[in-house]
A and B are shown apart, each in its own frame.
Chain A
Amino acid sequence: MSETVLPGGADLDDLLSREAIDDPFAFYARLRETGPIYWNRRWNGWVVTGYHEVVEGFRNHTKLSSDRFAGPFGEELSAASSQYQQLFAFLSKFFVWKDQPYHTRIRSLVNKAFTPRSVESLRPRVRELVDDLVESVRGERDVDFLARFAFTLPIVVIAEYLGVPPEGRESVRAWSEDLGAVIFVRGNDTDRMRKGDEAMDHLVEFLRPVVAQRRCHPQDDLLSGLVQVVDSGDALSDDEVIANAILMVFAGHETTMNLLGNGMVAFDRFPDQWARLRDDPSLARTAADEVLRYDGPIRAMARWATEPLELGGQRIERGDRVLLVQHAANHDPAAFTEPDRLDIARWPNKHTTFGQGIHTCLGAPLARLEAEEAFHGLSQAFPRFTIHEKELHYVPTVVSRSLTQLHITFPGS
């Protein structure tokens, strides 16, 4: 084996090694020091870790494609797609995994609902939910933080905004988790695809009557909004509405849940910043972005080259896979002073966690709002908290930065 082995013994090609998964700060720093872009034999593609190179990669959407159903990713999926038809029929309509013009058409239609001004109207409801959740954990010794707080807040917010009936939310959570295994490439291959296919089937069957009902009786929610644009010039088909509603449910909670969990771990590591936020709640806005930068819920996003290009001094050939490692870019000293320190007043904060370019996270304003309100509410209620896990572990995926579990004691009043 002639893999890139460092003096410390870590295999730089193993993006799923224990160190890469549980201590990406150190692991990605070593990748970046080796070179801002390098060929990874195991992942079979270019791994980009320098800030400027990651930003450039994201913004070059004409040569670096997001299409999962063409190119090298499409080849991998084509065998599976005949066996798991429901899964792929709907995944292939997720606009996040498409290039122009489909991507831009759907994005322009749903963008209005997620602008900073539109989501600002949700702030009172988000604050109310945070207050309720804070009271529900007050004085409890062993709170499963991900399940009881970090999951509940975003799933209720996105479900209410879309108009998903409350009685379906627990099922939606379970299906969404199975779908997540497919999207974040987690776990055993065959099992993942089979469960993902079933989950997609359930989600579609759950949403289809809701969408039909909104067509007859529009309400003040996003599903009604998506259905209504069908009747104006630029139309969404029923399946497009359902697919992109599933995308929003999924994207609207999984990542935010991990953001809140990672944030508590970051504040536990920097208790002075928790005290600072408690003393000055006006820092909640910049604190949200700093947590996104310091240890955001996304590690990396994949692209593939539709044409040859130069990036970071390397020539990328047509058909090559390219992994843009946002977590690494966010700790590049070329872009951030003292990158490994949490500074909740850091501004400007040009982190890459929401991506860059035409695929910049649609839900960014909502994620910021939820994180702001959650960290504000929790820091006001609790001067300190205690994390139980002696060692924290993360789910082994190349794409997401998700804790396996997080248990916290919150003091009583």
Chain B
Amino acid sequence: MNGPLRRVALVGGGITPFGVRAATFPELIQEAGARGFGSLPNLAPEDVDSLFVGAAQPERLAFQSHVAPLAAELLGLTPTRVIQRTELACASGQSALRSAYAAIASGLSDLAVVLGVEKMNLPDMAEANTSMADVLDRPWDGVHGATAPPFFAMVAQRHMHEYGTTEEQLALVSEKNHRFANRNPTAQFQGKVFTREKLRGLPVVAPPLRLGDCSSMTDGAALAVLVEGSRAREFTDTPAWLVGSAQCSTFHNLAHAGSLSSWEGLRKAGQELYRSSGLGPKDVQVAELHDCFTISEIVEYEELGFCPKGEGGRFVEEGQSDLGGRVTVNPRGGLLGCGHPLGATGVAQAVEILGQLQGTAPSGRQVPGAAVALQHNLSGSANVHSLLLWRREN
């Protein structure tokens, strides 16, 4: 770890059903509270000294700001140390986790609740799409009508052009993650079998990306509890220890994106993650990667060092990112299978990792003997990368 920091452990959490939910923003928060506190019978609300809320666009999507105190009230909390919301678009949830980590590691907090939440489905989805366009540099990039799909479509176009990646390989990412999602009761896509043949028959959203290559606009929430290390076993015999973290921001306006097919920011963040934890890509058995689009997962294999640059397509083709492969990627079902409620995604990934490290994930999703897990979120146009590394023993 960096310097004389206190150890931080994840001891429990819960996830609401993800999907097009008949539930409002505050109702999703209450559901997450029921599930999160329900997983921790030894935790009383008065033990919680801090609350971190990850939410990307509540002002636009739920017409509500100042959401941290709203969440505190709905969760029955009266934090006396830290209360704040973090916004980092698609990585808002991980940003909340890392802020809680920093607070606990530094001594500012001893026990923090991290809530991630987003309500994205509106009666008129053009309103929600408008908000997605302002994640980009709105007056210069979003103004041209672009949201995420055409940007990541250009990433796929360049990756195919430079490395020979195929649409079939993209579909394999989606097939794998949907198969895992079918075994996850909180996933948006339930009971639907997506074979690569079926995926390649779905409508094109932004060529070469089809519907099955894209994550969804999703409602959902997740809650996780982080504690100072010496208190971890008050709540569980098998905590997940946060042993490394990193972030890198390299640009905002798309004029400065550089090579679309290489994500320098992720490569740098990965190097810092491995440096800060003393571990390397070969130590990772489980990776919750930000598969907002199929091409994203392929580029992420490469930049995180799971395979050489340009060979991400082959990596999934060979089953190296599946159960039994080199590293199991997105056994939760990923953003592709679970949906992507922006603020909730990162917190849900952490809760999944806790289950994987505890060995309690359902059959067909559990990575045998998982001891080290990596969590990645990108945000915006992959201009920011956020990483956490979790470990079973410390």
A binds B: no
B residues lining the A interface (CB < 8 Å): none
A residues lining the B interface (CB < 8 Å): none
